[in-house]
Amino acid sequence: MSGVPAEAKLWDLLRGAMATKALGIAADLRIASALAAGARPVNELAQVSGADPETLQRILRALVSEGVFAEDEPRVFRNTEASELLGRDGWTEFALVIDSVVAGGNEPQGSEWLDLLMLVLGGRERTAAEWRALLETAGFGIDEIDDGLIQASCR
């Protein structure tokens, strides 16, 4: 662990997975584009994106803590340099799967633990074969799986 306390390492892994999900939701809802003209209250953002305002506020608050968005005053958000990238062409057009892929075997990996977290939350992590079957059913084919990033394209 090279000097990183064990608990901090685990929290970093957990936060990383959740941050990825939050970022994907913000990209899907096109929040950065909605903020292109400047700061807006979360209720307005929720209205234009079709999101629940309380859920959206919680997601944006978490992303603010990572520097993706900024909160100028309570419940009023704006873009940062990082979130402005989400509003550019290409970032919202990905079909951006970034998820854990459970590898076979018993080598120490975070994906097995994320699968337990997903179990508690009512979801699951998938193996490469399970991802392939799911995406192929939806009309996609996997081009590459590398470090939790699944690159797929329409077939």
Residue 20 within any structural domain of the chain: yes
Does residue 106 share a domain with residue 52? no
- In this structure, the answer to whether residues 11 and 82 fall within a common structural domain is yes
Determine which of 47-61, 83-97, 109-123, 134-148 has the lowest per-residue pLDDT on average.
83-97
Supply the pLDDT for residue 2.
Answer: 61
Alpha-carbon gap, residue 77 to 80, rounded angstroms: 10
Residue 103: pLDDT band (50, 70, 90) is confident
Does residue 96 form part of some domain?
no
Q: Which helix (H) or strand (E) holds 16?
A: helix 6-28
- Measured CA to CA, the distance from residue 137 to residue 129 in angstroms comes to 12
Residues 21 and 62 in one domain: yes
In this structure, how many other beta carbons lie within 10 angstroms of the beta carbon of residue 32?
22
Is residue 12 included in any domain, yes or no? yes
> Do 28 and 77 belong to one domain?
yes
Is 67 part of a structural domain of the chain? yes
Burial of 153 (0-12, 13-18, 19+ CB in 10 A): exposed
Task: Output 86 or 59, whichever has higher pLDDT.
Answer: 59
pLDDT at 1: 47
Specify whether the backbone of 2 is left (phi greater than 0), alpha (psi in -120 to 50) or beta.
Answer: left
120 shares a domain with 76: no
The owner of tokens 């939050």 is: 22
Domain around 60 = 6-86
CATH of the domain at 70: 1.10.10.10
Mean pLDDT (the chain) is: 85
Give yes or no: residues 58 and 12 share one domain.
yes
Query: Is 42 in the same domain as 74?
Result: yes
Report in angstroms the alpha-carbon separations of 58 from 46, 65, 75: 12, 11, 10
Query: Structurally, how many domains does the chain consist of?
Result: 2
How far apart are the C-alpha atoms of 34 and 47, rounded to whole Å? Answer: 11
Q: Which of 52, 86, 120 finishes a domain? A: 86
Kindly state whether residue 64 falls inside one of the protein's structural domains: yes
Q: Name which of 21-30, 89-98, 123-132, 141-150 the model is least confident about.
A: 89-98
| Closest C-alpha among 13, 46, 25 to residue 96 | 25
Q: Which of 28-32, 48-52, 140-144 has the lowest mean pLDDT?
A: 140-144
Q: Pick the last residue of a domain from 55, 86, 117.
A: 86
What pLDDT is recorded for position 97?
65
pTM score over 0.75: no
Instruction: Categorize the per-residue pLDDT at 49 as very low, low, confident or very high, splitting at 50, 70 and 90.
Output: very high
DSSP string, 107-126: ---HHHHHHHHHHHHT---E
Beta-ladder partners of 40 = 77
Q: Are residues 109 and 144 in the same domain?
A: yes
Domain boundary at 58, 86, 114, which? 86
* pLDDT single digits (tens) 18-42: 888 888 889 889 999 999 999 999 9
My answer on whether 82 and 12 are in the same domain is: yes
